[in-house]
Amino acid sequence: MIPLIRYLVARDKAAIAERERQEAAQRRQAELAQAAKEGLAQQIESACLSAVRTFEALPALVDDASTRLDDARVHYSNGAFSPFWSAIETAYESLGAYADTLSRLQGLARDHRWNVKAYDITYGSDDTLPSFPVDLDAANATAVGQDLAKALSELVYEAQRQPTFATIWEQRRTTTVLIAGFKNLERAVQGMTMELDSRLRDLSTAVTAGAAATSRSISDAATTASLAAANQSRQLSDQSRQLSDMVGGVNKTVALLKEQRDRAIWVQ
């Protein structure tokens, strides 16, 4: 009898140990799954935060390029040949940074779309996630850069018609520069307007595709204020609140870009 009792006790202990092991494994698996879910949601929110910061940098680049254009016009009127071309080069550097910023926004829009789709496929579409804060209207507002590029190109052409300015141009046009992928100033002058047009189209396409692909239960950017409360269990409240606070900056930036275009601050 005693051996049987010992056997039964040992069997029960083994069963309990196995059950506890399985429960611990299940808890660990659930924790890993929850961490993966929270990590993907955090990537989505991070893309939105980065997009806001990136978009808000655009007006300053327009201001800088237009200031350099104004400087170039002054130098042109005064017959200051070398300072004129230096101002032109600096203006194109700002436009190059503007073009690169559009490309970064496109990449963020693409990443946001892919991550939201991955979230829906893996976890369903019941959770509220932030929409990409740069919409089509915001993307279209960036066309101000193209207008500025055209004004610069016109001034460069006018200067190239003047013998002394043209002579200095011949000395500087093939100087190596790093402007939005262009190898020298001549290529930047020839191609910047088309490059900006291409990057704007790419950004608009990415934003439009993202809006169509993520028309699930995703929140409008203006509703992100409720995101922190809805996702406290994900421990993302700080980032969510930050996004809610920052997203209004997109609308302000859109208004500023449109104002810059309406005022045509670089038009003589």
Q: Could you read off the pLDDT of 104-118 as tens digits, one per residue?
A: 999 999 999 999 999
Nearest-angstrom CA–CA distance, 130 and 48? 8
Q: How confident is the model at residue 227 (pLDDT cuts 50, 70, 90)?
A: very low
Q: Which residues contact 205 (CB under 8 A, 6 or more apart)?
A: none
Q: 254 to each of 6, 16, 55, 234, 248, how far by Cα in Å?
A: 78, 63, 9, 32, 10
Asked whether the CA dihedral 146, 150, 151, 152 is positive or negative, the reply is positive
Q: What is the pLDDT of residues 44-96, one digit of tens each?
A: 989 999 999 999 999 999 999 999 999 999 999 999 999 999 999 999 999 99
Element (H, E) at 177: strand 176-179
| Full residue range of the structural domain in which residue 58 is found | 12-123+131-263
Region 124-153: what's the mean pLDDT? 88
Q: Does the pLDDT of residue 231 top 60, yes or no? A: no
Whether 6 is covered by a domain: the verdict is no
Q: Is residue 2 situated within a structural domain?
A: no
Q: How far apart are CA 203 and CA 190, in angstroms?
A: 22
Picking from 260, 266, 216, the residue whose alpha carbon sits closest to that of residue 44 is 216
Give pLDDT, residue 34.
76
* 64-101 burial code (b ≥16 CB/10 A, e <16): bbbbbbebbbebbeeebbeebbbbbbbbbbbbbbbbbb
Residue 212 covered by a domain: yes
Question: Residue 160 contacts by C-beta under 8 Å, 6 or more apart in sequence?
Answer: 166, 169
Give pLDDT, residue 218: 46
Number of structural domains, the chain?
Answer: 1
In a domain, 156, yes or no: yes
Q: What six digits make up the tokens of 87?
A: 């101002």
Instruction: Compute the average pLDDT of residues 200-215.
Output: 85
Distances (CA, A) of 244 to 82, 99, 145, 221, 266: 48, 27, 28, 8, 34
Q: Would you say residue 7 lies in a domain?
A: no
Q: How confident is the model at residue 215 (pLDDT cuts 50, 70, 90)?
A: low
Phi and psi dihedrals of 238, rounded to 5?
-60, -45
| Alpha carbon distance 224, 38 (integer Å) | 17
The structure tokens listed for 192 are 């910047």
Q: Could you tell me if residue 268 is inside a domain?
A: no
Evaluate if residue 197 carries a pLDDT over 90.
Answer: yes
Q: Is residue 5 part of a domain?
A: no
Q: Name the nearest CA neighbour of 136 among 260, 257, 263, 254.
A: 254
Does residue 25 lie within any of the structural domains?
yes
Reported as half-sphere exposure (CB side, CA atoms, 13 A), residue 34 has a value of 11
Q: What stretches of 124-231 show up as alpha helix (H) in DSSP?
A: 136-141, 144-160, 163-172, 185-213, 227-230
